[in-house]
Structure 1
Amino acid sequence: MLILQALFFPPEQPGGVSSMVPYVLEKFNKRGWEMELFSLPKRVRGKGTDEIKFETFDYHKYEGNLLVDKYIQTYKDYIWWTRMRVTKKYDLIHAHHPIAALAMKHLFPDTPVIMTIHSSYERELFLNGKITASSQEHDFLTSIYGELEANLDQLLTVSNSFKNYLADYVQDAERIGVIPNGFDEKRFRPMPHENAIPQLITVCRLVPAKGLDTLLLACAELKKRGQNFVLHIIGDGPMRLELEQMAVELDIYEETIFYGYMLHPEEFMPFFDIFVLPSQAEAFGSVFAEAALCLLALVGTNVGGIAEQIEHGRNGLLVPPGDALALSVSLEKLIADPAFRYEMARAASEKARKTYGLSRVIRQLRSVYEKYDHDKQEAL
């Protein structure tokens, strides 16, 4: 069985899809499966000219909207690049982005195409203040879910929470399968260490949806209470200057280190004590599983896939999104009690290894892939 894993852009960054799919491909290939990786180079722009038509809605009513026009052109570019580069006939195509999925089905209508929906672009734009819930952009992007359902052979997603989110935009949400992300445990090497001052770390894009303003407010409250800590922020984005200025104004700049983008934060993470990320929403939240595999105590918000990873008080702590006081209280519990901190970290690591190990993903995906191999054999 020859399978194509179709990404959007090349897997250049760790985390989520980019972190998982190449490892999945490697594991399957080692077990005798034939699997290849495909993506659209970032340099390809404005090449596609195919006429686009959706089955479930007319996108032309959105023409002239900059975001929609860019999305449609990228779809055309993906078709153009795929037509040039994909010359084999695959038994199954597994896509990891709506554009990749629709382009593949457009070009290979007789090939089964399944897709894992890893996140929601419209929700990210909404939470980051770029669009409103009643905007043309939101209507267009949420209409894509119905188009995927109508055209693809199988939809998968990464958490039950995100499946429930998708239910508002598809006809039959029960047909959506759930396979949480998985991680190659060999990448993560917890290091024994003794930090005299507790080290907090967060890894994310610096955008409003990640709630870093709430984190800085919580850290300012910790300092007022006399708690010692250092906060390490790994990542870059449009909010960096604003967050740095906020740290100055809150008098925690000396306790806060902004690193910018880092290619492999999992190599750096094991030397810290507490991972914290107060996101407003996460379809899965891969970085929590990665931090758990590095033996860090976890603090997150009670939203989406985070709440499916963390059982409050058993393998981490959950707080409401946007609640800086509750976040400071949870952080203080872990800072002030090293034994409790270690117990949370150990429990988080055990759950991550059991639930989010790559071998589990391989088993679940194999059962999905074999269904299409079986269907093909029956048709012969």
Structure 2
Amino acid sequence: MRILQALFFPPEQPGGVSSMIPYIQERFNKIGWPMELFSLPKRVRGKGQEEIVFETFDPKAFEGHPIVDKYLQTYKDYVWWTKLRMTKRFDLIHAHHPIAGLVMKQLYPDTPLAMTIHSSYERELILNGKIEEGSPEHRFLTSIYRELEVKADKILTVSDSFRQYLKPYMEDVDRIKVIPNGFDEKRFKPISHENEVVQLITVCRLVPAKGLDILLHACADLKRKGHPFVLHIIGDGPIRPELEQLALQLDLYDDIIFYGYMLHPEEFMPFFDVFVLPSRAEAFGSVFAEAALCWLALIGTNVGGIAEQIDDGVNGLLVPPEDPAALSEALEKVITDPVFRYNMARHAWNKAKKVYSLQRVISQLKQVYVELKPES
């Protein structure tokens, strides 16, 4: 069976799809199922001109809003690029972004399409203050889910909580199969170490949705209580200047290191003690599983896929979102009790190896692919 993995942009960013799809490709190729990757280069802008026609709603009704217009132009660019560069035929296409999925079904209607919805662009935009709930942009982006439901032969997503999130926008979410992300264990090499001062780490894009302002306020509270720590922030994004300024205001300048973007943070993580990320929303939260495989204690918010990965008090600690006091208390627990911290990290590693193995993902995907194309 020849399979195409249709991505949005090239898999060169850390986390989520990029941390998984190239390794899935490698495993399938080894077992004799040829698999290729296809994506839209970031340099392709403004090339597509074809009119877009959807079956379940009229996208023209939402034109005139910058985010919608950019989305539609990217769709047209994906059509243009696919027609230009796709020279092979595949037995099955597995898409990992709504644009990729809808374009592939438009151009290759007779090829079975599996579609994994990894996250909600509209929810991220709302949390990042770019759009308002119920706005035309929000209604456009959520209408895409129904279009996917009609066009895709099989819909997948990464967590039970995200499947429930989709319920208002689809007619039958019970059709959706949940396949949590999986990770190649060979990438993660836990290192036995003892840090005199507890080292906290977070890895994310620096945007409001990740709740790093909450983390800094929690760290300021820790410092006032006299608990030493160092916070390492890996990632970049539009609010980095604001976060750096907040760190100065909270007297945390000497306790935080901003690293910027890093291609393979998993090579760095094993030297730290605690992974913490107080996201305001998260469909899955791949970085938690990655941190667990690096043998770190986990602290996250009780939202989305994070709450499915962390069993509170066993392999990590869950706190409410938007609650710096609760986050500070959780951090205090792991900083002041190294045995508790070690045991949580051990349980996190055990669960991640068992539940988030790449081999489990390969097995589940093979089943989906055979169901969609049984004769191959």
Classify the TM-score, shorter chain.
over 0.9
Q: CA deviation at 1:372?
A: 1.9
Q: Deviations over 1:242-285 (max 9, x none)?
A: 11111111111111111111111100000000000000000000
Distance 2:63 2:202 in 1: 39
**Which residue of the partner structure matches residue 271 of structure 1?**
271
Q: Deviations over 1:7-52 (max 9, x none)?
A: 0010011210011001001000001111111111111111111111
Q: Deviations over 1:60-97 (max 9, x none)?
A: 11111111111111111101111111122211000000
Distance 2:94 2:263 in 1: 26
TM-score (norm 1): 0.98
Q: What letter corresponds to residue 180 of structure 1 in structure 2? A: P
Q: CA deviation at 1:222?
A: 0.5
Q: Following superposition of structure 1 onto structure 2, how do residues 111-260 of structure 1 map, counting pairs within 5 Å?
A: 111-260=111-260
**Which residue of the partner structure matches residue 15 of structure 2?**
15
- Corresponding position: 1:328 with 2:328: yes
Give the gaps of 5 or more residues in structure 2.
none
Q: Match of 2:14, SS?
A: coil
Distance 1:112 1:370 in 2: 11
Q: CA deviation at 1:172?
A: 0.4
Q: Match of 1:195, SS?
A: coil
**Which residue of the partner structure matches residue 61 of structure 1?**
61
Q: Match of 1:352, SS?
A: helix
Q: What letter corresponds to residue 193 of structure 1 in structure 2? A: H
Q: Match of 2:13, SS?
A: coil
**Which residue of the partner structure matches residue 91 of structure 2?**
91
Q: CA deviation at 1:119?
A: 0.5
2:153–2:372 contact (8 Å) kept in structure 1: no
2:335–2:341 contact (8 Å) kept in structure 1: yes
Distance 1:157 1:26 in 2: 21
Q: Match of 2:93, SS?
A: strand
Supply the RMSD in Å over aligned alpha carbons: 0.7
Distance 1:245 1:63 in 2: 37
2:198–2:229 contact (8 Å) kept in structure 1: yes
**Which residue of the partner structure matches residue 311 of structure 1?**
311
Q: What letter corresponds to residue 285 of structure 2 in structure 1? A: G
Q: Match of 2:373, SS?
A: helix
Q: Match of 1:23, SS?
A: helix
**Which residue of the partner structure matches residue 350 of structure 1?**
350
Q: What letter corresponds to residue 264 of structure 1 in structure 2? A: H
2:112–2:373 contact (8 Å) kept in structure 1: no
Give the gaps of 5 or more residues in structure 1.
none
Distance 1:345 1:245 in 2: 32
Q: Match of 2:166, SS?
A: helix
Runs of 4+ aligned structure 1 residues displaced above 4 Å come to: none
Distance 2:87 2:240 in 1: 43
Q: CA deviation at 1:373?
A: 2.4
Q: Match of 2:134, SS?
A: coil
Q: What letter corresponds to residue 252 of structure 2 in structure 1? A: I
Q: Deviations over 1:352-375 (max 9, x none)?
A: 00000100000000000111221x
Q: Match of 1:226, SS?
A: coil
Distance 1:198 1:132 in 2: 39
Q: Deviations over 1:207-250 (max 9, x none)?
A: 11100011001001101111010001111111111111111111
Distance 2:25 2:68 in 1: 32
**Which residue of the partner structure matches residue 290 of structure 2?**
290
Q: What letter corresponds to residue 67 of structure 1 in structure 2? A: I
Distance 1:12 1:307 in 2: 27
Q: What letter corresponds to residue 179 of structure 1 in structure 2? A: I
Distance 1:45 1:13 in 2: 19
Distance 1:156 1:181 in 2: 11
Distance 2:10 2:221 in 1: 41
Distance 2:25 2:35 in 1: 6
Q: Match of 1:242, SS?
A: helix
TM-score (norm 2): 0.99
Q: What letter corresponds to residue 344 of structure 1 in structure 2? A: M
Distance 1:17 1:50 in 2: 28
Q: Match of 1:4, SS?
A: strand
Q: Deviations over 1:175-210 (max 9, x none)?
A: 011000000000000011110000000001111110
